[in-house]
Amino acid sequence: MAMGERVVPLLDDLTSWDTGGHPAYNLWGTGNVEEVLPGITRPLSADVISTYMEIYARRLVSEAGLGDQVVVATLPEANIFGFFGGRWAVNIAWLGAYVGSYQPEESSDMLGQFMRGGRTASGISENTRRALRTRGKIERLWATALARTPQRAAVAHRARLAALRAALRRESDARLLERVDRTIALTGGLFVDHAYVSIGGAEQLAPLSSLLDRTFPGHPPEWGTVLTSALRDLTSAAPVAAIWKLSRAARKSAAVAKAIEHEPVDVLRERLESPPDAAWHRFAAAFAEFDESLGFRGQREVDPSVPDWGEDPSFVLSALRATISLPATKDPVRQEERAARERERLEARIERRLSEEDAKRFRVLLDDAQRYVRGRERTKATWAEASRAFRPPLRELGRRLAERDLIAAEEDVFFLRLAELRQAVAGALDGATAKERVRIRREEYERLHALELPVTFELPLTLEHTAAVTPAGATLTGMGVSAGVATGRARIVMNAEAGDEALIEPGEILVAPYTDAPWTPLFWPAAGVVVERGGMLSHASTVAREFGIPAVVAVQGATTLIPPGALVTVDGNTGTVTIQA
């Protein structure tokens, strides 16, 4: 602690809506799960997510025939994912037991590719014959999930649009709850596919890395990341290309472009809702297309209590403001294409230097790894889009409960538990009780923001200490996930919800606690990216590689340690971040 320290408070008691730990597995981590569901989750959202995550855990075990090897707990005990202090965490030990069931010889260390701190051996099965059979079965499940990705994406898209367009006010309370339950079943199944493709993708990288290590000992460490990046049309990168396309549509009218540059976001929203002239009608139509395709995105997009870009387009409009004046040379598709050509040149160079047999093996392994990376980003987006089908019926139920004076306001419904919502619909929860529980949980929710979870931990939790004062010249260490070196002024962005914070200047270094697909418009003008959480296969890493932006993740305390505006150098090859001044 030579550079000073900040004491993160001890989480003595679990909150009233947290899950319990698992009776058999007790090694938890925040890792890249915090980029998907950062911060504190409200009670109703936590219950909904925990319910379908139990469905997911049971299917993962039953479909692999592992009921006698991997213990599946029942809520309120958590399996793969749990909530502690209102924050989402992954059970690394549970996943280790699952992965270990199909590893007859050596651990692939799959978890380390997703999160730093999760780099723990997953174990080796003692029954080699059974492990081989299990491996074959699970590989077929991976391939099946990958193959049906387009169909599952279409199902999620229809579910979101159906929830948005339904005449919910004419439906009974019971019918609204049925919608919630159907969405729980849908998202649980979609997350199974996401897990299969994610685990399969991580496992596909291991033999590719082994081949490169054997044939090119001492090769540059960034080869692995370059070969699985800039894959073109990556789902997580779609928001950038779509916002660029919107900006070009806006530039067709000088008046529309000027308004986007100078008018407040609220005024722009009014013009989109009630276009004043033909130019605005045309732009509103283009914006509506964007909304239908990508309106489900947003910070904490899998959390039903949080609005998405379709409900609140403030972030998109702010990103447009930062984009509208950029020249054609900043087209992100061109930037992605340049990175793709660099990848293809490396592929060709490697193949030329391999024997005929190794070259064939290299191409098969590389194609598989790239397909699974694409699939992982698509299945994550599919799960996120399906999750948006929760919000309309839950908000309508909240409106009705507020109208009946069971709760004070519509949004208070998210401070009820799922069982309490069912009780309220059945007339078994009185207003005084409901309002008191909402009040207590709101107070808990506010207090929880002062707490942090360690990157990895066992229950019960202990104190975590992190450095807080970093002098110029200090070097922070993380995980290099996107090759290259960039120097620029640090722009600290704590979340992607605040439109004003979204205005990253070209050449700045984006420093964030976590990132996900909704952050991608911020990556675009940035010269480099530094993130506190994540691993080689986290979404931040994948998107940074897609655009060829140097990136380092798993830099603990980066948003605190790096002063705003400091000149920093990001080295995505070595995984270092140097504060120069």
pLDDT tens digit at each of 581 positions of the chain: 333 333 344 454 568 899 999 999 999 988 778 778 888 999 999 999 999 999 999 999 999 999 999 999 999 999 999 999 999 999 999 998 999 899 876 555 555 555 554 444 455 556 888 999 999 999 999 999 999 999 999 999 999 999 999 999 999 999 999 999 999 999 999 999 999 999 998 888 888 989 999 999 999 877 887 898 888 888 988 998 999 999 999 999 999 999 999 999 999 999 999 999 999 999 999 999 999 999 999 989 999 999 999 999 998 998 898 889 888 888 888 888 888 999 999 999 999 999 999 999 999 999 999 999 999 999 999 999 999 999 999 999 999 999 999 999 999 999 999 999 999 999 999 999 999 999 999 999 998 887 778 888 999 876 444 444 455 678 999 888 888 899 999 999 887 655 444 567 888 999 988 777 677 777 777 889 998 877 776 767 777 777 778 999 888 889 888 999 999 999 988 899 999 87
pLDDT of residue 115: 55
What is 415-483 written as a DSSP string? Answer: GS-HHHHHHHHTT-S-HHHHHHHHHHHHHHHHHHTT----SEE-SSP--EEE-----TT-EEE-EEEE-
> Amino acid identity, residue 57?
A
What is 28-84 written as a DSSP string? Answer: EE-TTHHHHS-SPPPHHHHHHHHHHHHHHHHHHHHHTT-TTTS----TTB-SSEEEE
Name the class of domain 469-579.
Answer: alpha beta
pLDDT of residue 108: 54
pLDDT of residue 542: 75
Q: Is the pTM of this model over 0.85?
A: yes
Cα–Cα distance list, 457 to 9, 91, 441, 532 (Å): 14, 10, 25, 17
> Amino acid identity, residue 161?
L
- C-alpha 488/C-alpha 312 separation (Å) is 31
User: Do residues 434 and 416 touch, judged by C-beta distance below 8 A?
Assistant: yes
Task: Show the tokens assigned to 343.
Answer: 């990848």
Task: Of 296, 298, 294, give the one whose Cα is nearest residue 314.
Answer: 298
Task: Show the tokens assigned to 545.
Answer: 């590689």
Domain ranges of the chain: 235-332, 469-579
pLDDT of residue 7: 39
